[in-house]
Every structure is written in structure tokens, then in C-alpha cells.
């Protein structure tokens, strides 16, 4: 019995070359969205087809892959993408952040600081930070060309005028290498400081929108803010209910019908590690 | 079942080395390439890099076109060639000291800065010392980079290339068993005089 035969990491070699060329351009122009000819993948758009294509173009046989969805290794999206690469590339996988060489992520940056031998691949739904402010691609392209980012500050100002603070809690826009305003994908703004001066290469893939962008290691990434309303991080009253971590990003979990709530680490590997230390 | 295709494996590994060089400007990365017999004027490193990145969608420029090189890359990569610098996606540069400027290559446009030429430059030796200092994305503080035979004129051109960031060309250097890159995002400074 023989199953279907795949090329290594599913994509054909010509597609990988096209994606690799786009990745190299993206690294050379940090924060700029490089158009690429995204292929149809055997999973629906919105399930991380952009991240999957970037990962497929980067994978070698020696890589150890970790896939997370909202910080967890055991959620549907993470499990199916991990299985996809085991099936089509035969590579090793891990849940442990430190052991991974490529980490594909949906909407979180691991709590464990990354090292320079790691690549973090983000799944991006809407790569254009200005899209909800200006729907026309021709216009947003011009705005990036002219560094015309005033409208983004107006949006943040309107937050302050309405709510008394910058209410944007995820997808928080940042300026890369003092040039391009970029969309860090829907990571919580809690993770934005980890984008800055990271030791690892960060690659972003948007499959439906057909864009790839990158932040090389040791690159300045500054979250947009105002002098009198500086960028601030969310805080929790209690530590993680399982591991007791006071520094990690917590998810709120509904426990019962009586309004019981529990706050636990969103990063399952970090939570496990902290428990083991206790 | 997975079809084990050694060329797919090799190309993935080669790409990761190029990616490492590009994400750490100035870092001299070991570039082990498969044994190839490229024609005269094309090193094994240059040939491997072009075969990994080029295909029918890319066009290559070189100063004095050698029929052997053109045939070789057409056969192995399906790449096309152009006589116009500004139409080239990749440029083969075997004598960088004779390169008068980088401006004639495609610089990209303000709306599409990615539509630019990547120069692949053959050199003899590279080292991380000397008077050229590099800073910018991919470099922790700053690093030094030196290429034998390349003088002030070349580095002034590279500095001018960076000055128009985000437009400009990206440079990849290859020598025997080594690869390094200086993308347009890197600030290049010449310390002292020639």
C-alpha cells in the first residue's frame, strides 16, 4: 500500500523558490509587505495558509517544528498544521520552545525568549495595518511610500478621546526600523515588546492577502503611542491559577454556570516549565 | 509517504544559509555547496546560489555574457538573461572593483521597493575586520566587514545605495565556501581614508 506521494514539505520546488525570493526581499526591507503568489493549500483560507507556505519554504529535514495556536500546542489549528508537516516533510516536532528551530504561531509570541537559531513564523489574516482606515490597496500603498501614517495616530487618538486610553488590545500597530508601520498579526499588545530587538528572525505570511513580511533579528520595532499616552501593557490582579506565573499572558476561562472564572497561562509550554520549577 | 528528493533537501539547506546571511548582514556564513562543474567564470558557490533562487520568472544580467554560463543556467535553472541592468532580478558580478555605480540596476519603486536587482558578487576573501563598519537591522550593535580588493569607491556606492532606503539593491557576496550579504537596510560607513 502506498499513500499519496508528496514533494518534501508539500509545495513544489518552483513555488518554494518564488516564496524564498519573497522572504529574502522581506528581510532586506523590514516591515514592507512583499506581494507573493500564494498557492491554494489543502486547508481553508484563514487557517494559516500564509504561515504554512512560509514554513514549507524554510523547512529542512533537520528542523524541529513547534506549532502554537494562541500559545497552546494542543489546539485544533496547531495540531492539524503539525500533522500536516509530519506527513508531508517527515520532520521532528516538539512542544518545547527551547528545542524548536522553527515555530509557527497563530496570535502569540512564546514567553520563553527566542534565540538566534530559531525562526518564528506568524500566520497573518490582514497584513495591512491601514486596511480598516483605507480600504483601497492603491491608496495604502501610496501611504506607505510617502510614510503618510497620520491617520493611524488619529485612530489611536480617537481611542483616547472615546475611552480615555488606547483601547487597541491586539493587532497593535508598530513602526519597524523607523520606516514602515506594520501589523504584527493579532498578537495581544502584551507581546509587542518581544518584537523589538528579538534574537530570532520573524517571518509573517498572509495567504489570502498574498503578502510576506519580516523582521530581521536585532531590529527596532516601536509600538505607536503618544508622549502623554505612552504604550502600556495589560496587568492582571492574580497570577496564573495553575503555575503561579506573574509575568505571562493569561487567558480567562469560564469554569461553570455560576460565573466562576479562572486565569491561566496562554503559553502552555511556559506554564508546564513554571510548574516543573515549583 | 514522502518522496525523498535530495535536490529539494539540498535547496532547502542552501536557502537557509542564504537566509542566515541576509538576516545577519556582514556575517560570513559557511556555504558548503554540492559538487558541481559550472563553466569557466561561474564559481560553484555562485552557480549553486543562482540555481537555488532562479527560474523562468527571474532574469539574470552579467557584464560580458559568456555562452557557456548562459547555457548552464538556462539548462539547470530555466533562468532567462537580459542585457538591461534595470530589468535584471539578479546580476552576476565577477569584477566588483570595476563596478562604477549601483544606480543603473533596478532600485525598486516607492510603492514596490521589492522590484529591485539583487547583485551576486564573486570575491576572493572576506573578513570581519578593517575599516568598513556595518549597522542596522540584523546586526546587534555594529560589525566590521572587509573584502579584499574592494576600495573606497565601491563602499561609497554601497553607502549611497543605503541612503535611498527603502529603495536600492541588495548585495550577496560569495567566495570559496563562504557567503555574506549586505541588504539595502544596512548602514555602511568607511572609517578613515584610503
Asked if residue B104 belongs to a domain, the reply is: yes
ipTM of the complex in this document: 0.96
Is residue A259 part of the annotated active site? The answer reads no
Asked if residue B167 belongs to a domain, the reply is: yes
C-alpha cell read off for B186: 544596512
For chain B, how long is the longest CA-to-CA vector? 61
Question: What does the pLDDT read at residue B140?
Answer: 96
Question: What does the pLDDT read at residue A278?
Answer: 84
Contact residues, chain B, for A3 at CB < 8 Å:
1
Q: Which residue has the cell 508598530?
A: A174
Question: What does the pLDDT read at residue A212?
Answer: 98
Question: What does the pLDDT read at residue B1?
Answer: 46
Return the residue in B54, B114, B117, B165 with the most chain A beta carbons within 10 A, the one to mutate for interface testing. Answer: B114
User: pLDDT digit of tens for each residue in chain A (278 aa)?
Assistant: 466 788 999 999 999 999 999 999 999 999 999 999 999 999 999 999 999 999 999 999 999 999 999 999 999 999 999 999 999 999 999 999 999 999 999 999 999 999 999 999 999 999 999 999 999 999 999 999 999 999 999 999 999 999 999 999 999 999 999 999 999 999 999 999 999 999 999 999 999 999 999 999 999 999 999 999 999 999 999 999 999 999 999 999 999 999 999 999 999 999 999 999 98
**A241 and A264 in contact (C-beta within 8 Å)?**
yes
Q: Which residues pair with A7 in a beta bridge?
A: A10
The 3 state secondary structure assigned to A124-170 is: CCCCCCCCCCCCCHHHHHHHHHCCCCHHHHHHHHHHHHHHCCCCCCE
Contact residues, chain B, for A27 at CB < 8 Å:
19, 22-23, 138, 183
Question: What does the pLDDT read at residue B2?
Answer: 52
Asked if residue B2 belongs to a domain, the reply is: no
Which of A20, A35, A220 lies nearest to residue B53, judging by beta carbons?
A: A20
Question: What does the pLDDT read at residue A87?
Answer: 95
- Kindly determine whether residue B23 and residue A216, on different chains, have CB atoms separated by under 8 Å: yes
Question: What does the pLDDT read at residue B7?
Answer: 84
What is the percent of chain B where pLDDT is above 70? 95
Asked if residue B40 belongs to a domain, the reply is: yes
Q: Which residue has the cell 504604550?
A: A231
Question: What does the pLDDT read at residue B35?
Answer: 82
Low-confidence ranges of chain B (pLDDT < 70): 1-6, 193-194
Give Cα A58 to chain centroid, integer Å. Answer: 16
Asked if residue B107 belongs to a domain, the reply is: yes
Domain count, chain B: 1
Question: What does the pLDDT read at residue B66?
Answer: 87
Q: Tell me, what CATH number does B86's domain have?
A: 3.40.50.11310
Asked if residue B1 belongs to a domain, the reply is: no
Residue of B nearest to A219 (CA): B137
Residue of B nearest to A88 (CA): B2
DSSP state, residue A30? T
* Dist CA B140 CA A186 (whole Å): 27
Selected catalytic residue, list A3, A31, A90, A259: A31
* Dist CA B1 CA A259 (whole Å): 49
Give the domain range for residue B166.
8-190
C-alpha cell read off for A69: 495556536
Question: What does the pLDDT read at residue B6?
Answer: 67
pLDDT tens for each residue of B16-48: 999 999 999 999 999 998 888 899 999 999 999
Q: Which residues pair with B91 in a beta bridge?
A: B61, B119
Asked if residue B171 belongs to a domain, the reply is: yes
Amino acid at each position: 500500500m502506498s499513500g499519496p506521494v508528496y514533494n518534501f514539505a508539500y509545495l513544489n520546488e518552483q513555488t518554494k523558490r518564488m516564496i524564498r525570493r519573497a522572504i529574502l526581499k522581506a528581510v532586506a526591507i523590514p516591515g514592507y509587505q512583499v506581494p507573493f503568489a500564494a498557492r491554494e493549500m489543502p486547508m481553508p483560507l484563514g487557517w494559516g495558509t500564509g504561515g504554512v507556505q512560509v514554513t514549507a519554504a524554510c523547512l529542512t529535514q533537520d528542523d524541529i517544528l513547534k506549532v502554537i495556536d494562541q500559545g497552546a500546542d494542543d489546539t485544533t489549528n496547531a495540531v492539524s498544521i503539525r500533522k500536516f508537516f509530519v506527513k508531508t516533510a517527515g520532520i521532528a516536532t516538539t512542544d518545547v520552545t527551547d528545542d524548536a528551530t522553527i515555530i509557527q504561531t497563530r496570535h502569540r509570541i512564546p514567553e520563553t525568549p527566542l534565540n538566534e537559531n530559531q525562526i518564528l513564523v506568524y500566520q497573518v489574516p490582514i497584513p495591512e495595518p491601514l486596511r480598516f482606515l483605507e480600504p483601497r490597496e492603491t491608496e495604502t500603498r501610496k501611504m506607505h511610500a510617502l510614510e503618510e501614517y497620520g491617520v493611524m495616530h488619529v485612530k489611536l487618538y480617537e481611542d483616547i478621546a472615546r475611552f480615555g486610553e488606547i483601547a487597541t488590545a491586539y493587532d497593535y500597530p508598530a513602526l519597524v526600523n523607523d520606516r514602515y508601520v506594520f501589523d504584527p498579526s493579532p498578537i495581544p499588545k502584551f507581546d509587542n515588546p518581544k518584537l523589538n530587538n528579538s534574537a530570532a528572525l520573524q517571518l509573517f505570511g498572509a495567504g489570502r492577502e498574498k503578502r510576506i513580511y519580516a523582521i530581521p533579528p536585532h531590529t527596532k520595532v516601536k509600538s505607536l503611542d503618544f508622549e502623554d499616552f505612552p504604550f502600556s501593557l495589560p496587568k492582571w490582579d492574580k497570577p496564573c491559577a495553575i503555575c503561579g506565573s506573574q509575568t505571562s499572558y493569561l487567558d480567562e476561562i469560564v469554569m461553570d454556570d455560576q460565573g466562576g472564572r479562572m486565569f491561566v497561562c496562554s503559553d502552555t509550554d511556559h506554564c508546564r516549565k513554571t510548574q516543573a520549577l515549583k | 509517504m514522502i518522496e525523498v528528493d535530495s535536490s529539494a533537501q539540498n535547496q532547502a539547506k542552501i536557502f537557509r544559509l542564504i537566509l542566515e546571511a541576509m538576516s545577519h548582514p556582514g556575517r560570513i556564513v559557511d556555504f558548503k555547496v554540492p559538487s558541481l562543474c559550472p563553466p569557466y567564470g561561474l564559481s560553484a558557490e555562485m552557480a549553486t546560489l543562482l540555481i537555488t533562487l532562479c527560474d523562468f520568472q527571474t532574469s539574470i544580467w552579467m557584464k560580458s555574457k559568456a555562452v557557456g554560463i548562459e547555457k548552464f543556467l538556462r539548462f539547470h535553472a530555466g533562468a532567462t538573461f537580459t542585457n538591461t541592468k534595470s530589468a535584471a532580478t539578479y546580476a552576476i558580478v565577477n569584477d566588483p572593483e570595476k563596478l562604477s555605480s549601483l544606480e543603473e540596476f533596478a532600485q525598486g519603486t516607492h510603492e514596490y521597493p521589492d522590484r529591485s536587482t539583487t547583485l551576486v558578487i564573486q570575491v576572493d576573501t572576506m573578513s570581519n575586520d578593517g575599516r568598513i563598519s556595518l549597522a542596522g537591522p540584523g546586526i546587534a550593535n555594529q560589525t566590521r566587514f572587509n573584502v579584499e580588493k574592494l576600495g573606497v569607491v565601491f563602499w561609497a556606492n554601497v553607502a549611497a545605495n543605503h541612503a535611498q532606503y527603502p529603495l536600492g539593491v541588495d548585495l550577496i557576496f560569495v567566495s570559496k565556501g563562504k557567503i555574506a550579504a549586505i541588504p539595502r537596510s544596512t548602514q555602511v560607513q568607511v572609517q578613515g581614508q584610503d
